[in-house]
Each structure stands twice: as C-alpha cells, then as structure tokens.
Amino acid sequence: MSDKYNNKTDDEFFAQFDQPQTPADQANRSGADNVGTAYTESSVAGRRRSSRSGRDNSRRNGRPTDRTASAQGRQQAGSSSAGSGKRASFLKKMANSNGLKSNDTTLSIVLKSAALLVVGLIMAVGIYVGIVFTTAPKINTDDIYSMLSQRSVMYDSDGNEIENLYFSDGNRTIVKYDDIPEDMVNAVVSIEDKKFWSHNGFNFIRMVGAIKDSVLGGGQISGTSTVTQQLARNVYLSEIKSQRSLSRKISEAYCTIVLEKNLTKEEIMEAYLNTIYLGFNSYGIQAASQAYFSKDVPELDTLECAALAAMPQSPDTYALIKADYDNSNTSLPVLTSVDSVTYLYNGDISKDRRDAVLVNMKNAGYITAEQESECLNDDLKNHMKLGISSSGSLTSYFTDYAVDQLTDDIVSEYGVDRSDAQNMIYSGGLKIYTTMDSSIQSIVEDEFSDDSNYAGIGYARTNSSGDLLDDNGDILLYDYSHYFNSNDEFTLTSDEYTMESDGSMKILAGKRLNIYEIEVNDEPDVSIEFKGMYTSEGGTFYFIESGALSIPQGYKTVDGDGNAIISAQFFTDYPEFFVKSGDSYTVNSGNYSLKQKTRQPQAAMVIMENETGEIKAMIGGRGTSGKQLFNRATNPRQPGSSVKPIAVYGPALQMSYEYEKDGKTMSLDSSDGSNWGKYITAGSIINDAPLTFNGATWPKNFYSGYRGQMSFRTALQQSVNVCAVKIYLQIGPDYAASMLKKVGITTVDDEGEVNDLNPAALALGGMTQGISPLELTAAYATFPNGGVYKNPISYTKVLNSKDEVLFEKSSEGEQVYNEGVAWIMTDILHTVVTQGIAGNANISSQPVGGKTGTTDNNYDAWFAGFTPQYSAALWMGNDVNIDLTAGSAQSASFWSNIMERVCADIPRASFREKPSNVISYGGEYYTDGTYSKTGLTPSATQGESTTQPSSSEEPSSSEESSSMTPSSGSESSSSGDNN
C-alpha cells in the first residue's frame, strides 16, 4: 500500500469515503468498478483470457493491477474481524460498489453455473465441429485433378484443334507447375496470400476476425481466405462455396488441413492456378491465357501475369474481354468482331488492382523498380489477342457425330450409362483425334452455302388461308400468319377451347394445337404444341417444325377425349398468360416457344475414305447454327434408285458367284423373254416389258413405255425400274435384305405387316424408314474397296488428361462381296456416269462411279458415288414432303461441284486392278465360271438400246411408279424413284 494511505490514521483513512466526491474522484471510482468487474470475468474465464486484456484495462483505469488484489484482501479481512464501525461501513460500501454479495454460497453458485455454461458451450462447439468434419467430403489429394472439370479438345486428321468440349465450368486445361512462369506465381502471392510460403494453410488473425464477425453479425462470415483455403473451396466444396457460413468455414478448414498435410506448396499453387475462374468462360490460367492473349502459359509476360492475378476477386467484373451480341455497348474499345459478335476491351476496370499487384511484387522483391515502372506504363490493350476463331465456316455436325460415336464406345467398353460417358467426354480433359480433313470439310461447307446448288421448291396448292395442302387436300403446313399476328401474338379462337364451370380451360384436340402426354423429370406432363408451319421471306421458304405453349408442369392434364385441361389454379397464379379479347384469348411471344426456322430445301452429305473407313467430312444441313442440331446426314430418307446397286444388282452378282463356287446353277425364270444364262451376270439379258401384279401393271419406268431386251449393265446405267424388279424377284427379298445389312444398312424393316421385304422397298427404294447418307456412303465404298465393307469411323485415338491412350480405333473390315464381283460393280457404276443417266456427276480429275436416286414426286433427290480415293452420298430434299423442281440430276451436279474441288490436287488415279478371277467375253466382264451364252451377244450389251435417255433426262410426275406394290399387298410410304 502506498505511503499516501499508510500515513493516515484509521479514522482519516475511512473518513475520506464519507466525504462528497469531485468529478475526478467519481472518474477514479468508476475505474475501480471496472477493475473489479474485469477481475470477476477473469475469475470465471480463467487462464483462457489474455493477460494483455488485463493490462489494457489497467492502463485505461490508470492503476496498477495489484490494486485490485489489495482491495480484495482488505475486504476478506473485514469480513472476519469485529473492527470499528467505520471499517465495517467501508467494507459494506466496497462490497456494494463492486457488486459483490457477502454470501459466499450465492457467489459459489454463480461461479459454478458460469463454469458449467462455458463447459457446455465448449462441448456444443466440439460436437458441432465434429459433425461438420464427419460430413465434410472425404478427399484424395493424390489425384486432385479428378475433381476438376477439364475441357476436352478435338483435333482434325492433321492435328489441328477444331473443337473444345466442356460443361459450363469446364473450359480448363491443366498446366504443370514447372510450366508456370515465376512471375505468375509471385503475382498471385502478392495480391492473394502474402504469407503463402510460410503459413500452414491459415491466416489465423484474419480467420479469428472472420469468426468473430460471424458470431456478432448474424451468421455472415467474411472472406480473406488463403490460397489453400480457396483451393479447398473450389475443388471440394464447389456446391456450397458461395455460402458465407460457419459450417462451410469449418469444412473448408478440414479440407485445408488435409491439403497442407499431403501436398507441397508448389502442388497447392499449381492446383490453385488450374482451378480458379478468370472470366470470359475461362477456368484456369491456360484457358485464360489462350482466351485473352492467344498464348500458352509459359509465354506470359509480367504484365499479363499481373492482369490474370488481379482477376480472381471478381472474375466476371474484371474479365478483360466482354462480348457484345447486339452492339449495345458503345463505351468500351472494340477489339474485333467474329460471327456477328463484337468483342470489347474491358481491362481498364481492373487497372487499379492490377497496379496493386505490380506494386506488391516490387515491394516483396519479386520484380525491380524498373520492371514495375515499365509495366505500370504499359497499355494492356496492346497485349490483347482474342483467342477465338470464327465458327461460321465449320458447322458442328461432324464433331457432334464424333462425340456420339465416342459415347457409344465408352458405354460399350466401360459398361457405364450414356450420361456418365458424356460427363467423361465433356469434363475429362480428353484429347480426341478425329478423322476430319478440315480442308475437305471447308469445301463442303462452302458449297452448301451456295444457293445455286439447290433445286427449287414446287409449292403445293394452298387453301384460302394460305396453308399448304398435301395431295389429299389436308393441311400440310400452316401459314405462319395463320398462327401469329403482326405482334407475334398467338390467338386461341372460340372454337378451339371451352371454359369449364370450375374455372379451368379445355383446349380442344384436333384443332391447330397438338396435345401430347409426356414425362418431365419422371413426372407426367402435357405438351401443347403448334403444328408445323412455314413462312416466306424475300422469296426464301422456311419451315418451322413446331413450338409449344410455355405452361409450367403441374397445371395440365388430358381428359378421355384427348383434350388438354388447364387448371383454374393456373389462371390464379398466372393471370396475364392468357389475355381475353372478345371471345378469344391471346398469348404473347414471351409465353410460347418456337423451334428454329430452317431454310428449304435442305441437304446432307458424307465423304469417307474408301480404304480406311475414315469420315473426312460430314454436313447435316444448311443455314443452321448451334450444337446438337438435327443431323440429316445420320437420319434416314427414302433412297429411291440409289438402293439398286446395293440391294439388287450387287447382290445378284454375288449370289451367282456363290452358286458357281458351290458348283450349283441358279434356277432363273426366263418366261418373260429374259435370257439370264446359268447365272445372273453383267451380260444377262432382261426384258423391259410390262409386269402384272394382282391384275395391275406395275412398276412404271421414268420414261414412257418399255424398251424390250437390254443387258444387266444397261438396265443399271439407265435406272430401269422394271428390270430392277425382275432381278429382285430372281434373288428374293431375304437375300436382298441380308446383303443390305452386311454393308451396314441398319434401317431394313423385315418384320411386321408393313415391312421392306417387297420390291417397292428393296428394288425401287421406297423403304419404310429409308437409309441415311452416312450408311449409304459406307455401303457404296464397299465396291471400290475390293468388296470389303468398312464401318465408318470419326476418330482414331483418344488420350486422357495424363496423355494415356484410352482408345485406338480403326475401321473393321468385312469381306462382303467377292473381289471380282466388287470390281465388276465398280466398273458398271463407272459407266453409269460415263454412259448412263448420272453424267452430271462426272469430274475432271478422277474417274467417278455412282448412282442417282429420286423418290416419288421429287421429294428426295440423291447421288451416291465414289472416286478411287473417296466415297460420298449427297441427299437433297425438304424436311416435309414438298416437291422439288428438279430431281437427282441436280444432286449429281451438286455432288460433282464438291468432289471436283476435293480431288483437285490429287494425282489422277484408277480404280483397283482387275482381279484374277474376272474374265471378259465380247467386252463384258464376268467372275470366272459364270459366263454363259445369252440371247444377245456380249458385244452388243453396252449399247443395244437406240432410245437411251440423255444423262440429264428427268421424268414427269405422270411417269412415277405407284406407291403400292401389288404383289405384296402392303403399302410402303413411297415406291421408289424414276431414275
């Protein structure tokens, strides 16, 4: 105790507490109260309380800390002594002033309760942390990149990048730490985590502050994470990383501990730089480096590193490039325009933060003052080189198909479902080496954009509303204006609905809206759709397949008559969807959707390399954009006469070869005046004379009348329907169908009442489903490839993200035709071009073989053919059955225009050499043992008809064959073609 108090008598000492107090005394008294309170709290909290806090309180009160202990000692002494009244009065005042009770039992209860409360809180926190740790994801740091979505890259046959495949968060390519510039690492450390190299994953000062803010601020917790914490959040907590909660912070801490324990700092930094989002759909520094600067990460300079390091805080805001789709932004500098999209420089918005990175780097000794000054004064805009190329020149038809083929292979190889396979493709960081020849694909794309290659549209008749009618007078396509007014509003007329007594609406079936019961997310739903429609713009005909009212699931049902019922609740929840106007209701354009309008006519083509089966080009339509489009190259259409070589003529020669090889002769019917010989050969004589089925004459040829006897070769050269049917009748439907299947045609229907086992389908091409351009291409390639069928392939090799081979693919070959048979068919099809009806397909640089095909009413026009190097099939037609103004001659010209350019720089070649089992008699070719003398001498078989049509001759609609095969009694959707 100080002398100030020791020199006083007891009366003087205690009397001072009874005197009136000055403001200063009151202030000192208040300080004493605070000291007493601080002591009481420290008694409860024990040693967990910081000694620094006690010292700070003492300094604020202006008294040494042992003053409190002295006062307490005097208090306890007074309680046990029977001293003077003044001493008792003092002790009482001291007890009251410190808020203490003289009852030890009460104090003990308070202290024990407080202690129990603290213990309970500690236990609760421990349990909570334990639960969070238990539910936190179990992580394997050995393969951290397996948790990341990485973009896959597709390459053409020359190794050029043609497509990137990724989900919305997967435009990412992994780079190794050794390939990352030191400036890139230092820039990130300077702005994101200055203690990165020394801490154990946490910045404890910032973390304690964040937790305090969470407790005091009602659950929201602030940022300030380390690089390791950000990595943990991005990789393992991606679904909740946007939450600012205590539980997420605890989970993040758990993952951070595991990362720091198992990975080196370099590995953590590498993974971080490969995971961060850097704007402009770029995940990781490699994707961003390419997007902004068109360079790989090792090539980044100091300023570019600083620019990227400045972005993680707000990547969308700080994105160095902005895309302007409607030219609405006039404030930012223009970098370039690609495919009608303007790309703007947005680097100025992040300049302050970018400069801060550079200053921090200099202060930390990572760069010199000279480097700092140079970068601060450099214009980042001069570094920008947009890493995006025009996608308009190449459509996605090929790459979409390659993805589908790879998906099928993954499903087959690994036994996973298609969704897992596609996830592997779009997020697995694969390198997919395709068979596409980009130069050939570009030629095809270019020719498909040339309107002069297309036939016109022979418009059907219309009704008074402008709707197109089919041959039966039924509406084929509605006029767009029949559905929508000038404001693009759809009007539901009074005869198309009724309002029910319960407030629901009944949309009547059989009107302008189709009603379908469907499932969405495994729950029943109803789709209310517009029927097909058309519009004409600037003389160009467009087809709109359909559209639908955008009524949410749960408000629609279908009654027993197929009508759609829209519940009364819908009108309560969406009162502005239907706007009543008199007896009608209107729906604005925001409440319905329409499918993309497509220009007509359409076309599709596939080009395949004969010997390898590699698809070199594929296009499934024209005037379309986007991904996963309807691919006409892989969808079947009726092939018309292009089916004849692969379903009739080729199989007939192969059957003859097989019979002769087995030492048997064929039983052939010559009662109609044909002279087959012992086998069907290129020199067999077929009588082009009327056939009668069930009392009707069928089929008709594309020319008027009949031409009598002609050779097998001539019949194919001139696409004579009668002769094709007669050959088909000799070999039978089963053999014809089996040979189609052997050359990869998967759409032969050979079961059910309506099937393809009839001459209308297999001899004339009126198949139930049809054949796709892709399958027709591969089937035709069998002939110039020596009779070996090669299944078409779109890729040759796939590597995973570690450059390990997942797939190596080559086309499997199957000997379908004898080599001699294939050679003879190649020769005949060559003369179809040089002497027959397909002269328009000829090109100057290479020999060509092939066959045209046209279906009834010119709905479909084909040419399928080959050169020594490639086979290709081209289809042209409308997406609905509307006549073309020209038939297969137009398709042959279109094919020629493309293949002329494709083969322009290839040295002229010949088809394969004649095999040893092919012999010739009188100018015609036979497989050994199949020749026999026929009614016409072989020398006359290639030119006996004096009424052969020219190669450009086209049939009239009156010369079409009927759509019914009288012999089969089963209706086919089309009987076939005229040439």
Q: Is residue 409 part of a domain?
A: no
Going by the DSSP 8-state scheme, the letter that residue 642 receives in this structure is G
Q: What is the Cα–Cα distance from 135 to 247, expressed in whole angstroms?
A: 10
Question: How confident is the model over 752-773, as a mean pLDDT?
Answer: 96
CA distances from 439 to 605, 757, 904, 905 (A): 15, 41, 12, 12
DSSP line for 691-755: -EETTEE----SSSS--EEEEHHHHHHTT-HHHHHHHHHHH-HHHHHHHHHHTT------SSSS-
Nearest 10 degrees: Cα torsion 42, 47, 50, 51: 80
Question: How confident is the model over 424-431, as a mean pLDDT?
Answer: 90
Q: What is the pLDDT of residue 231?
A: 86
- The CATH number for 903's domain is 3.40.710.10
User: Do 95 and 145 sit in the same domain of this protein?
Assistant: no
In the structure encoding, which two tokens stand for residue 306, read together?
């600083």
3-state secondary structure at position 649: helix
Range of the domain at 773: 635-793+814-949
* Proportion of the chain above pLDDT 90, given as a percent: 58
pLDDT band (50, 70, 90) for residue 342: confident
Q: Is residue 903 part of a domain?
A: yes
Question: 200-209, 491-500, 618-627, 734-743: lowest mean pLDDT where?
Answer: 200-209
Higher pLDDT, 465 or 22: 465
Torsional class of 614: left (φ above 0), alpha (ψ -120 to 50), beta (otherwise): beta
Q: Is the pLDDT of residue 597 over 60?
A: yes
User: Do 474 and 334 sit in the same domain of this protein?
Assistant: no
Provide the H-helix boundaries in 415-546.
Answer: 418-427, 438-448, 480-483
Nearest to 437 by CA among 561, 607, 641: 607
Neighbour-count burial for 151-188, b at 16+ CB within 10 Å, e otherwise: bbbbbbbeeeebbbbbeeebbbbbbebeebbebbbbbb
pLDDT band (50, 70, 90) for residue 138: low
Higher pLDDT, 238 or 284: 284
Q: Is residue 287 part of a domain?
A: yes
User: Do 161 and 94 sit in the same domain of this protein?
Assistant: no
8 Å CB contact between 712 and 637: no
701: Cβ contacts below 8 Å, ≥ 6 apart: 688, 720, 721, 722, 959, 978
pTM (predicted TM-score) = 0.73
Higher pLDDT, 586 or 30: 586
Higher pLDDT, 334 or 936: 334
Q: Beta-carbon neighbour count of residue 926 at 10 Å?
A: 26
Q: How many CA atoms lie within 13 A of 503 on its CB side?
A: 9
- Mean per-residue pLDDT of the chain: 82
Q: Is residue 479 part of a domain?
A: yes
User: Do 844 and 920 sit in the same domain of this protein?
Assistant: yes
User: Do 819 and 916 sit in the same domain of this protein?
Assistant: yes
Residue with tokens 């390659």: 402
Residue with tokens 């069907």: 680
User: Do 775 and 825 sit in the same domain of this protein?
Assistant: yes
Q: Is the pLDDT of residue 262 over 70?
A: yes
Q: Is residue 679 part of a domain?
A: yes
Q: What is the Cα–Cα distance from 862 to 399, expressed in whole angstroms?
A: 24
User: Do 639 and 745 sit in the same domain of this protein?
Assistant: yes
**Domain boundary residue among 102, 131, 158?**
102
Q: What is the Cα–Cα distance from 431 to 272, expressed in whole angstroms?
A: 23
Question: 282-286, 316-320, 957-961: lowest mean pLDDT where?
Answer: 957-961
**Domain boundary residue among 78, 102, 126?**
102
What digits encode the pLDDT tens for the residues 900-917? 999 999 999 999 999 999
Task: With residue 407 as reference, give the H or E element that holds it.
Answer: helix 397-414
pLDDT band (50, 70, 90) for residue 236: confident
Phi, psi for 505 (deg, rounded to 5): -115, 135
Provide the H-helix boundaries in 851-959.
Answer: 888-902
Higher pLDDT, 123 or 193: 193
Question: 44-58, 396-410, 889-903: lowest mean pLDDT where?
Answer: 44-58
Phi, psi for 399 (deg, rounded to 5): -65, -35
pLDDT band (50, 70, 90) for residue 23: very low
Q: What is the Cα–Cα distance from 199 to 806, expressed in whole angstroms?
A: 40
User: Do 63 and 158 sit in the same domain of this protein?
Assistant: no
- The CATH number for 283's domain is 1.10.3810.10
Q: Is residue 966 part of a domain?
A: no
Q: What is the pLDDT of residue 109?
A: 74
Nearest to 906 by CA among 866, 865, 869: 869
Q: What is the pLDDT of residue 245?
A: 54
Q: Is residue 973 part of a domain?
A: no
User: Do 591 and 643 sit in the same domain of this protein?
Assistant: no
Q: Is the pLDDT of residue 598 over 50?
A: yes
User: Do 696 and 593 sit in the same domain of this protein?
Assistant: no
By CB neighbour count within 10 A (0-12 exposed, 13-18 middle, 19+ buried), where does 522 fall? exposed
946: Cβ contacts below 8 Å, ≥ 6 apart: none
HEC profile for 69-80?
HHHHHHHHHHHC
8 Å CB contact between 870 and 609: yes
In the structure encoding, which two tokens stand for residue 726, read together?
């007669």
- Total count of domains within the chain: 4
What digits encode the pLDDT tens for the residues 913-933? 999 999 999 899 999 999 987
Question: How confident is the model over 170-192, as a mean pLDDT?
Answer: 92
Q: Is the pLDDT of residue 95 over 70?
A: no
HEC profile for 163-189?
EEECCCCCCCCCCCHHHCCHHHHHHHH
Q: What is the pLDDT of residue 33?
A: 39
Nearest to 890 by CA among 851, 863, 927: 863
Q: What is the Cα–Cα distance from 877 to 880, expressed in whole angstroms?
A: 8
What digits encode the pLDDT tens for the residues 682-718? 999 999 999 998 899 999 999 999 999 999 999 999 9
Q: What is the pLDDT of residue 972?
A: 38
Q: What is the pLDDT of residue 119?
A: 73
Q: Is the pLDDT of residue 239 over 50?
A: no
**Domain boundary residue among 334, 349, 383?**
383
Nearest to 65 by CA among 76, 52, 54: 54
Residue count of the chain: 979
Q: Please name every residue paired with 927 in a beta bridge, in sequence order, or none if there are none.
A: 918
pLDDT band (50, 70, 90) for residue 166: confident
What digits encode the pLDDT tens for the residues 476-529? 999 999 899 999 999 999 999 999 999 999 999 999 999 999 988 888 999 999
Q: Is the pLDDT of residue 107 over 50?
A: yes
User: Do 706 and 826 sit in the same domain of this protein?
Assistant: yes
Nearest to 874 by CA among 447, 391, 442: 447
8 Å CB contact between 463 and 469: yes
User: Do 780 and 858 sit in the same domain of this protein?
Assistant: yes
Using alpha carbons only, give the angle 219, 224, 226 rounded to the nearest 5 degrees. 125
Question: How confident is the model over 426-450, as a mean pLDDT?
Answer: 95
Q: Is residue 248 part of a domain?
A: yes
Q: Is the pLDDT of residue 169 over 80?
A: no
